[in-house]
Amino acid sequence: MKAIFIHLSDIHFGQEKNGGDIVVNNDAKRRLIDDARAEVAKLGGKASGVIVTGDIAYSGKEHEYRIAAEWLVELTDAIGCERVNVQMVPGNHDIDRDKISVPIECVLTQIRENGDAVLDPLLDSAEGCDFLYGRFAAYRDFALDYECELDLNGQMSSGGRLELAKGRSIKFVRLNSALICSRKDDEGKLILGKRQQVLPEEDGEEIIVLVHHPLNWFQDSGKARNYLRNRARVLISGHEHFPRLQVDSVDAGRDLLLLAAGATNPEKVVEDYTYKYNILVFEWDEDADALAVTINPRTWDDYLTRFRRDDAFMDGRAERQVLASPNFRRAPRPTIVPPVDRMASEGTPEVEPVAVATAATSPADTAVNVINRAALAPDTEPSPTVDQRLLQLRFFQELSEGERLNALVDLGAIRPEFRGRLDHSMERRLFRMLIKQGKTQAIEERLGSIEAKKRGDIQ
Q: What is the pLDDT along the chain (459 residues), one digit of tens a residue?
A: 899 999 999 999 999 888 888 999 999 999 999 999 999 999 987 999 999 999 999 999 999 999 999 999 999 999 999 999 999 999 999 999 999 999 999 999 999 999 889 999 999 988 899 889 999 999 999 998 898 988 778 888 887 789 999 999 999 999 999 999 988 888 888 988 888 888 888 999 999 999 999 988 988 877 788 888 889 999 999 998 888 899 999 888 999 999 999 999 988 777 678 999 999 999 999 999 999 999 999 999 999 999 999 998 888 889 999 999 999 999 999 876 444 444 554 443 433 333 333 333 333 334 444 555 444 444 445 677 888 888 888 888 888 888 888 889 889 888 888 877 787 778 888 888 888 888 899 898 888 888 888 777 665
DSSP state of 93: G
List helix spans (H) across 2-160: 19-42, 62-79, 102-114, 116-123, 126-133, 137-144
- Is there a contact between 83 and 393 (Cβ–Cβ < 8 Å)? yes
What residues does 292 pair with on adjacent strands? 283, 322
pLDDT at residue 459 in the model: 58
Contacts of 26 (CB under 8 A, 6+ apart): none
Q: Whole-angstrom distance between the N-terminal and C-terminal Cα of the chain? A: 49
Q: How many CB atoms lie within 10 A of CB 425?
A: 19
Buried b (16+ CB within 10 A) or exposed e, 62-72: eebbeebbebb
* pLDDT value of residue 16: 86
Q: From CA 412, how far away is CA 302, in angstroms rounded? A: 55
pLDDT for 92 = 94
Question: d(Cα 45, Cα 2) in Å, to the nearest integer?
Answer: 11
- In this predicted structure, what is the pLDDT of residue 372? 52
Classify residue 335 as exposed, middle or buried by CB count within 10 Å of its CB (0-12, 13-18, 19+): exposed
pLDDT in the model for residue 56? 96
Find the largest Cα–Cα distance for the chain: 69
b/e map of 245-282 (b: 16 or more CB within 10 Å)? bebeeeeeebbbbbbbbbbbbbeebeeeebbbbbbbbb
Q: Are 284 and 334 in contact (CB under 8 A)?
A: yes
The pair phi, psi for residue 14, each rounded to 5°, is: 100, 5
Q: Where in the chain is the domain with CATH 3.60.21.10?
A: 2-329
Contact 112, 188 (CB under 8 A): no
pLDDT at 387: 86
Q: What is the CA radius of gyration of the chain?
A: 22
Measured between alpha carbons, how far is 78 from 167 in angstroms, rounded to an integer? 30
CATH topology of domain 2-329: Purple Acid Phosphatase; chain A, domain 2 (3.60.21)
CB-based contact 7:279 (threshold 8 Å): yes
pLDDT score, position 160: 74
pTM to 2 decimal places: 0.84
CA–CA distance, 273 with 396 (Å, rounded to integer):
35
* Per-residue model confidence (pLDDT) at position 348: 38
